[in-house]
Structure 1
Amino acid sequence: MPSARIPEKTGNGSGWRQRAACRDMDAETFFPVGNTGYALIQAAEAKQVCGSCSVVAACLDWALTMGETGIWGGKTEEERKSLKRSLQRRARAETAVV
């Protein structure tokens, strides 16, 4: 049985996936189950791949916009939620100043 891969989606500005460092990797690495034990090792491995990826910013933007699960753009789902809240607070503060 072949291992799962990160799917290649077309449209919606996702052409960056063709250049992603994870393109031919086992998708399981990027979708750890839980946040302890082996899942932490998987997350660290995924983040290491993301650290060498030329399209990490586009990947992160995609995940923030689409609400993806797993490791995207070098961040876990919880890290992205925190980042999104920070960005929203900053945007509100900038709007309030104007």
Structure 2
Amino acid sequence: MTARKISAHEDRFDTKGVTIAFTAPTPHQPGLVWACADHPDPDVFHPIDEAGLAEAQAFCADCPVRALCLDLGQRRDEYGVWGGVLLENGKPQSGIPRRGRPPKVA
């Protein structure tokens, strides 16, 4: 079996992260104010309990770019709180996942 020759272009740009960055770039317009840009603790947007989720959602509640943030998070398959919504792999979640094995359902 012979290996296929990979061009320099394919080697650099054939990753999911680069593809997503080109298809869903973060807009840097002078009029857009991202409330979370200067937050002292960015880990608040990756909550581990319901209280942390409520704190992140409260912070996002008055953000002027909330809808744009949520759209970016979904298109990029992100994790954490984006636009006040908890995402896992770009999909909205109803709450923080519980640790351990899920209960058996008969």
**Which band: TM-score by shorter chain?**
0.5 to 0.7
1:20-42 C-alpha deviation (Å, 9 max, x unpaired) = 11111111100113xxxxx2111
Q: Determine which of 12, 27, 38 is the counterpart of 1:24.
A: 38
% identical equivalent positions: 34
When residues 65 and 42 of structure 1 are mapped into structure 2, their CA distance, relative to the original with a 3 A threshold, is: same
Mapped to 2, the partners of 1:63 and 1:47 lie a distance apart of 14
Deviation at 1:68, TM superposition (A): 0.6
Q: Determine which of 66, 70, 91 is the counterpart of 2:80.
A: 70
The unaligned stretches of length 5 or more in structure 1 are 1-8, 34-38, 84-98
Q: Which residue of 2 aligns with 1:14?
A: 27
**1:21 corresponds to which letter in structure 2?**
A
When residues 62 and 50 of structure 1 are mapped into structure 2, their CA distance, relative to the original with a 3 A threshold, is: same
Runs of 4+ in 1 over 6 A off after TM superposition: none
**1:69 corresponds to which letter in structure 2?**
Y
**2:25 corresponds to which letter in structure 1?**
N
TM-score (norm 2): 0.54
**1:12 corresponds to which letter in structure 2?**
P
Aligned counterparts, 1:27-66, within 5 A = 27-33=42-48, 39-66=49-76
Deviation at 1:50, TM superposition (A): 0.8
1:64-86 C-alpha deviation (Å, 9 max, x unpaired) = 100110000110015x6258xxx
Larger radius of gyration: 2
TM-score (norm 1): 0.58
C-alpha RMSD of matched pairs (Å): 2.6
Higher strand share: 2
Higher helix share: 1
